[in-house]
């Protein structure tokens, strides 16, 4: 996500909720989760009134930090 500084409060709420839901902060504003979560992201955007243009949702098939992430999420590959 890329919520501007002027909306710091919304950005903080979004980060807090993603953390609470078990997302992993891969980079500063890149959070990941190993399971389908598109609906949850849409609900969070609605609740915190975050415009679509500030949040990008992507589904990926592989990532180069696989071992680190499978350990973090306690997934047995």
Give the pLDDT confidence of 35-59 residue by residue, as tens digits. Answer: 999 999 999 999 999 999 999 999 9
Mean pLDDT value of segment 14-36 = 95
Q: What is the pLDDT of residue 4?
A: 93
Q: What global pTM score does this model have?
A: 0.86
Beta-bridge partners for 53: none
Name the burial class of residue 41, with classes exposed (0-12), middle (13-18) and buried (19+) by CB atoms within 10 angstroms of its CB. buried
């Amino acid at each position: 996500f890329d919520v501007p500084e002027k909306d710091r409060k919304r950005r903080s709420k979004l980060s807090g909720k993603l953390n609470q839901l078990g997302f992993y902060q891969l980079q500063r504003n890149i959070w990941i989760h190993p399971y389908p979560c598109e609906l949850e992201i849409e609900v969070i955007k609605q609740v915190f009134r975050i415009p679509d243009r500030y949040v990008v949702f992507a589904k990926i098939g592989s990532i180069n930090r696989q071992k680190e992430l499978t350990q973090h999420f306690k997934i047995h590959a």
